[in-house]
Structure 1
Amino acid sequence: MSNFVAPNSIVRRIWGTSDTVMFIFAGAAAEFALNKAVDWLYFTGRLPADPLGRLFSTVDYARRILFADRTGAERAIDAIAAIHRAVEAKRGQPIPDWAYRDVLFMLIAYSIKAFEVLERPLTTAECEEITAVFCRVGQRMGIPDLPPSYPAWLLAREQHLAQDLAVSPYTTDLYQQYRKHLGGPRYQLLRAIQGRVVPPAVRQQLQLPSGAFLRPALAFYGRTKQWPASQWLKNALLPTEYQTRIKALDAQPVEHSEPDAATARQLRCPMRQHAPKHSAG
């Protein structure tokens, strides 16, 4: 039986380690707070009540898709679609197509950015593969007008960032919930990580730090992440009750191969993010 994502895919490499998954959802947590459809995340009340629990629930669904055979992945996607249809029926209105695309675009964007911050630049082929995988998820869900390629996604992503983000009372409340559930020091670390991975437009609107001071620490962590001490530091980023679930993110074996250095330099895929004219707070 065929896999939904090839065993040696860069997508499995990215989503098979807790480091990158946590950075992906740090970025998504920031952008979700600005999205003009964030009220949908508040409709059931589950997100503000338990943002960390919802994080791991979302991760579980994503990994069920990315590490399953085709039949299992399609079953998981159909389950997600059914959950959304039920929420739409309860509220009496559909979730906008652009909001569905925004979520897929976040998964593509932060999969790329998280890996590049923690590991190395991705090749153009790898970026194409990431885009294709998540667009297949969207196609199965029936989301229209998905980009056919990575360059097309880059253009659509820029349009969405310009049109679909705004600070709202939900933004303030969601960040208050992040602080409440993480505590002060972890909350500040979250904001610094978010500043490293989000686009300039998101960083400016949320007044996030640039996160530049994390670069030496992340470089050191990259060289020592197999050391027990580094694992202890990583586990300290989230409250104790989530440490077992963090470790579980590393449980899935991932096969991967690295391109040679020359190929990586020639084929790397920049996210085309321009530096803001004024630095974020």
Structure 2
Amino acid sequence: MSYFVNEKSIVREIWKNTDAVLLIFAGSAAEFTLNKAVDWLYFTGKIPTNPLERLFSTVEYAQNIVFAENDLALATIDKITQIHQGVEKSRGQTIPDWAYRDVLYMLIDYSICSFELLERKLETPEKEEIFDVFFRLGIRMGLKNLPTNYNDWLIDRTIHLENNLQKGEFTIHLFEQYKKHLGNSRYFILLEIQKILVPKIVYKMLFKTSNFPTKTLLKLYKFGKTLKVDHLVKVILLPKKHKESITNIGKYETL
């Protein structure tokens, strides 16, 4: 049986970890508010009006690619491509290729930093393996001008961060929506977690300096996992109505 992602891949280890997946999207949620192509979110209105539901939907697509047999994974990628093409057709414009690359680069970057924050430092071959999985995803989607190896990606990631970010009205509005759907306390926690995830350039554009001991809390959270109380923490961090969706993210944890 052939899989899009090898059964022993570090990518599977990352994407079956509910904590890591939530951190990946926490970091991406911060950075994408600054993306110069963020106006595309407002054409469909789905993320601005219901960011948490959109998060869980996106996670489902991503995990279907990571854990499915090759043909099913490719079908999922093709479906994602078709959805975007439909949005482009409706708007009568084409999503910039660099914007697709930006999203792909976020998935690579936050997969690495989220796992390292929660578990351990990754070896260079493991980082190259993460890059390769998302590179193949990008190729399947027909993306152009993708770097072909991890070292070239590091360079291009920096270039994208320097050229494709701006703070504007969409940035402010999206964070307002995060706060609306999470509530004040959960929103505060989200911001503090984002501060230790995002690249320096993103941090400077979005946040003020914080003395909140987020890393200490993460250490306590990891200790809580050894006591089997981490699911309690997840319930505290996210609204109760999403408990089933959170559980669904972790359905691959026993693999």
What band does the TM-score fall into relative to the shorter chain? over 0.9
Higher mean C-alpha deviation, range 154-163 or range 39-48: 39-48
Q: 1:87 to 1:15 in 2, by over 3 A?
A: same
Secondary structure at 2:64's aligned position in 1? helix
Q: What are the superposed Cα offsets for residues 181-235 of structure 1, whole Å, 9 maximum, x if unpaired?
A: 0000000100000001000110110115557611122122223314343321122
Name 2:161's counterpart in structure 1: 161
Contact 1:161 1:201 in 2 (8 A): yes
Name 1:149's counterpart in structure 2: 149
Name 1:134's counterpart in structure 2: 134
Secondary structure at 1:85's aligned position in 2? helix
Q: TM-score, normalised by structure 1?
A: 0.88
Q: Distance in 1 between matches of 2:19 and 2:211?
A: 16
Q: Which letter maps to 2:115?
A: F
Name 2:68's counterpart in structure 1: 68
Higher mean C-alpha deviation, range 246-255 or range 138-147: 246-255
Question: Could you say what the CA RMSD is over the residues aligned between the two structures, in angstroms?
Answer: 1.3
Instruction: Extract unaligned runs of 5+ from structure 1.
Output: 256-281
Contact 1:193 1:211 in 2 (8 A): no
Q: 1:163 to 1:211 in 2, by over 3 A?
A: farther
Q: What are the superposed Cα offsets for residues 11-51 of structure 1, whole Å, 9 maximum, x if unpaired?
A: 01100011000000000000110000000111111111100
Name 2:252's counterpart in structure 1: 252
Q: Distance in 1 between matches of 2:52 and 2:220?
A: 27
Q: Which letter maps to 1:122?
A: L
Give percent identity, aligned residues only: 49
Name 1:267's counterpart in structure 2: none
Instruction: Extract unaligned runs of 5+ from structure 2.
Output: none
Q: Which letter maps to 2:219?
A: A
Q: Distance in 1 between matches of 2:162 and 2:248?
A: 36
Q: Which letter maps to 2:177?
A: Q
Task: From the two aligned structures, give the one with the greater helix fraction.
Answer: 2
Higher mean C-alpha deviation, range 108-117 or range 200-209: 200-209
Name 2:235's counterpart in structure 1: 235
Matched, 1:87 2:104: no
Q: 1:105 to 1:130 in 2, by over 3 A?
A: same
Q: TM-score, normalised by structure 2?
A: 0.97
Q: Post-superposition shift, 1:147?
A: 1.1
